[in-house]
Amino acid sequence: MLSPQSKIVSHINGIVVGPLDLLAANTLRVPCSTWNTFFVDTVEGLQSLLPEVRHQPLLVLGGGSNVILKPVFPGVALLMRIGGIDYLPIDDADVDSRQMLVKAGAGVVWDDLVSQTVKAGWSGLENLSLIPGTVGAAPIQNIGAYGVELDQVFHALEAVRISDGQVVRFSKEECGFGYRHSVFKEALKGQFIITSVTFRLTGAEFAQCNTRYAPLNQYLDDHSIHRVTPEQVRKAVCDIRSHKLPDPAKKPNVGSFFKNPVIDEACWQALHERFPSMVSYPQEAGQVKLAAGWLIDQAGWKGRVSGRVMVHDKQALVLVNHEAGSADDILSLAEEIKNDIRDKFGVTLEIEPQVYPQE
Ligand SMILES: Cc1cc2nc3c(=O)[nH]c(=O)nc-3n(C[C@H](O)[C@H](O)[C@H](O)COP(=O)(O)OP(=O)(O)OC[C@H]3O[C@@H](n4cnc5c(N)ncnc54)[C@H](O)[C@@H]3O)c2cc1C
């Protein structure tokens, strides 16, 4: 369904495809029609496109692996395809020859960047191997996996301000990173389009690989790998992930559907008395992080089918669109799970992916 204002805008840099169903542009494979859709492949193209589109609702998409799209988005979709990976010497006062900056375009496939930097002998991104999506989306929720979060290797990013088309540089502090969080999800939500991200990586020969995450440590032990290199960490993470997580191409999903809830220690004590085997991780400032997957599994949801959608039979945290369901099918199942977890454990789960259009 398209708006009466629907039109195809021709443009020099942004390749225009006109109204398009975004079914193939999101990993949950739900249908979503827009008024117009543009592929954005240069910063200049984006800047000259903005005056035409900035007064309509904008949906910025990378790989569509962390969004839930309702059947109609009444506005313009921008599919980020800005490419390029450049290695830059460190330009600050404490020049460190063991480190290097790598700057990647927002549209670069995240795992291509990880693979390329590891192969080139740089360490820092290997634990984040095989996370779907693009470089530009990675800071939005401060992606994390296997004991590492993006902010640990983040240097800076560039983003175009939607209101005036200016390129603005953000330092790490200015991004306000937290657990699955950044300033772009709240205070600056919908105001900037990220065009590139720069990371600070360490030469593999000087790197201290992070292998503290239990399943990674176990894998390395099982394979008798003791002097660990970034390439070995990458291989280990890829192997574990490929066995553990459903491939969205075969079982449409958005990865972890709920964030791990963080509760205060007093609540945790009370819960722990009732459920001594409950999985939890102590945090700073008297807080404790619970494993949302454990809660959902304990509540008996693993493998449960609800019409065209279901809870994955091996990963309770992953909801799968197994029979061409819609955003509403997925969101109703999520609501049922949330209510049940609140009743059983008194814990409120929060959805991780972003829903569009936003209510
Ligand atoms: C199988 C699977 C496993 C996953 N595993 C993990 C994991 O281990 N750790 C983890 O953290 N995440 C994980 N995810 C979630 C997802 O891959 C990440 O959040 C990823 O960074 C999303 O990238 P994307 O390009 O697909 O973003 P999209 O889904 O396209 O967009 C996500 C959000 O970012 C915004 N956005 C995208 N690009 C830009 C841009 N250039 N500028 C401004 N805003 C932008 C969008 O508007 C949207 O709000 C997983 C997903 C799947 C399907």
Structure confidence at residue 95 as a pLDDT band (50, 70, 90): low
Q: What digits encode the pLDDT tens for the residues 228-268?
A: 999 999 999 999 999 999 999 999 999 999 999 999 999 99
Query: Class of the 262-356 domain?
Result: alpha beta
- Give the Cβ contact number of residue 286 at 10 Å: 10
The DSSP line for 191-245 is TEEEEEEEEEEEEGGG------SHHHHHHHHHTT--S--HHHHHHHHHHHHHHHS
CB of 104 shorter than 6 A to ligand 1: no
Of all atoms in ligand 1, which is nearest to the CA of residue 107? 41
Cα separation, 229 vs 75, whole angstroms: 47
Domain segments of the chain: what residues?
15-80, 85-244, 262-356
Distances (CA, A) of 261 to 200, 223, 273, 316: 30, 33, 18, 15
**What does the pLDDT read at residue 20?**
72
Instruction: Specify the CATH architecture of the domain 85-244.
Output: 2-Layer Sandwich (3.30)
**What does the pLDDT read at residue 137?**
98
Q: Name the β-bridge partners of 200.
A: 101
344-355: average pLDDT: 97
Q: What is the mean pLDDT of the chain?
A: 92
CB of 144 shorter than 6 A to ligand 1: yes
Cα separation, 18 vs 52, whole angstroms: 14
Among 66, 80, 81, 82, name the best residue to mutate to test ligand 1's pocket (greatest count of ligand atoms within 8 A of Cβ).
66
Residue 89 or residue 128, greater confidence? 128
DSSP symbol at 184: G
CB of 50 shorter than 6 A to ligand 1: no
214 has a pLDDT exceeding 80: yes
CB of 196 shorter than 6 A to ligand 1: no
Q: Give residue 275 CA to ligand 1 midpoint distance, Å.
A: 33
CB of 142 shorter than 6 A to ligand 1: no
Of all atoms in ligand 1, which is nearest to the CA of residue 150? 11
One of 3.40.50.970, 3.30.465.10, 3.30.43.10, 3.10.20.30 is the CATH number of 15-80, namely 3.30.43.10
CB of 194 shorter than 6 A to ligand 1: yes
Of all atoms in ligand 1, which is nearest to the CA of residue 245? 1
Cα separation, 62 vs 22, whole angstroms: 12
Among 140, 320, 354, name the best residue to mutate to test ligand 1's pocket (greatest count of ligand atoms within 8 A of Cβ).
140
Q: What digits encode the pLDDT tens for the residues 12-27?
A: 345 555 567 899 999 9
Q: What digits encode the pLDDT tens for the residues 114-124?
A: 999 999 999 99
Cα separation, 104 vs 119, whole angstroms: 16
Cα separation, 218 vs 243, whole angstroms: 15
Q: Which pair of structure tokens corresponds to residue 334? A: 């999520």
**What does the pLDDT read at residue 284?**
85
